[in-house]
Structures are given as structure tokens and as C-alpha cells.
Structure 1
Amino acid sequence: MSKLENIKSKVNEAEDFARKIWLAGLGAYGKSLDEVQGRYEKLNAEASKVFDDLVEKGTKIESETKDKIKEKTNVEARVAEVRKKLGLDKPDMEQKVEELSAKIDALTAAVAKLADKQAKS
């Protein structure tokens, strides 16, 4: 082998080695890209599942809350109906109830005094 052929052979080996280094770099880039894409897809799938679970939980809570509000509204309607039947739905009725309570308290005190006087006699 001549000196010129020897140099060409070394240059070819160097070019071949440089090309292999380039290809190894591209392979590493491709492999890391595949791994990142796989992780992204996995995270995306997990995030979708978490989101769907949250939507399902929210739907359940919304339904339960609506039922409770409906129950409370029904109870309040029943209380209002009873108050109306008893005539307690008028604004001045509470004042009248307080006045009647005061009169009952006064009568109770008066009866107690009379009973005390009779007992002493």
C-alpha cells in the first residue's frame, strides 16, 4: 500500500467514524424524543382520567346538592303553609304573639298572688 493510499484509507476511516458519531447523536436524539413522547402520552392519559374522575365527582355533588336544596325548599314551604293556616304568616302576628305571651305571664303572676293571699288567709 502506498503512502497516498494509506492516507486515503485513514481519511475514509475518519469520515466513516465521524459519520457513525453523527448517527449515534441522531439515534440518541431520536431515542430521547421517543421517551419524552411516551411520557407525555402517559401523563396526558392520566390527566384525562383525573379530569374525567373530577367531572364525575362534581356531577354527583351537584345532584346531591340539588336534592338537599329541594328538600329544604319543601320543608320551608310546609312551614310557611302551617304558619298561614295558623294565621302566623302576617307581619304583625309575631308582635301579637309576644303581646299574648306577656299577658299570659301577667295573668300567671296575678293568679299566683291571689293563690298566695288565699293560702295566708
Structure 2
Amino acid sequence: MTTKKTDTIKGKFNEAEDFARKIWLAGLGAYGKSVEEAQGRYDKLSAEASKMFDDLVSKGENLEDDARSKFKSTTNDVENRVSEVRKKLGLDSEPSDQRIEELSAKVDALTEAVAKLAANSNK
């Protein structure tokens, strides 16, 4: 082979080698770019997820505070109503068991008196 042919073949081989290397580098570049984009998207999503989680926690705390406040208010209302009913029934000053026994004794006495009156009216 002549030197000219050999130089031409070497030149074309070098061109082909350079072209193949550029294709390889373009593939690496595309991979690197996709990794960077994916990392950027991941970082953005991670930040958004953290912010969303913090927002949800904050809203949950507000709802919990509102629920506690309403529950406390309702509990106070119920306690006040029970207290009023106890006062009306006379159960707030004396121990309730003793008061119930007294009322039961009065009911028994009234029942006995009604029975006597009914017996006398039938005679």
C-alpha cells in the first residue's frame, strides 16, 4: 500500500473514531442532563411535599384547637345544665342518696295515706 492510501485510511479511521467518540459523549451528556433534571424535579417535589406537610400539620393544629374549644364549651354547658337540674330537684345541698331516701319515704307515706282514704271512702 502506498503512503497516500495508508494516510487516507488512517484519516478516515481517525474521523470515524472521533465521530464515534462524539456519539458516546453526546449519550453521556444526555444521561447527565436527564440526571440533573430528575434531581431538580426531585428537589422541587421534596420541597413542595415538605411545605404541604407543614401546611397540613398547621391546619390540623387549628382544627384540633377549635374542636377542643367547642368541646370545652359544650362540656361547660352540660355541666351547668346538670347543676341547674340538681338544684331544681334539691339534690345539690345534701348528699343525693340521703335526699332520695327522704323523697322515697315521703312517696311511701303519701301512697299509704291515699290507700287509707280510698279504703274509708269505700265503706
TM-score normalised according to structure 2 size:
0.71
> How far apart, in 2, do the equivalents of 1:29 and 1:89 lie?
85
Equivalent of 1:116 in 99, 115, 118: 118
Q: For 1:99 and 1:10, locate their aligned partners in 2 and report how far apart those are by CA, in whole Å.
A: 118
Matches within 5 A, 1:30-109: 30-72=32-74, 74-75=76-77, 78=80, 88=92, 93-109=95-111
Instruction: In structure 1, give the amino acid aligned to 2:106.
Output: I
Gaps of 5+ in 1: none
Identity of aligned residues (%): 44
When residues 103 and 87 of structure 1 are mapped into structure 2, their CA distance, relative to the original with a 3 A threshold, is closer
Q: Which has the higher contact order (CA 8 A, sep 6+)?
A: 2
Is the contact between residue 80 and residue 89 of structure 1 (CA under 8 Å) also seen in structure 2?
no
Question: Would the aligned equivalents of 1:88 and 1:94 in 2 still touch at CA under 8 Å?
Answer: yes
Three-state SS of the structure 2 residue aligned to 1:88 is coil
Q: What one-letter code is carried by the residue in structure 1 that aligns with 2:31?
A: Y
Distance of 1:115 and 1:43 partners within structure 2: 89
Of 110-119 and 72-81, the range deviating more from structure 2: 72-81
Amino acid of the structure 2 residue aligned with 1:53: D
Q: Which residue of 2 aligns with 1:26?
A: 28
- 2:29 maps to a residue whose letter is G
| Distance in 2 between residues matched to 1:119 and 1:97, nearest whole Å | 33
CA distance in 1, matches of 2:4, 2:59: 81
Q: Could you tell me how far 1:37 is from its partner in structure 2?
A: 1.9
Q: Deviations over 1:17-58 (max 9, x none)?
A: 221122122222122113312321331243133213212212
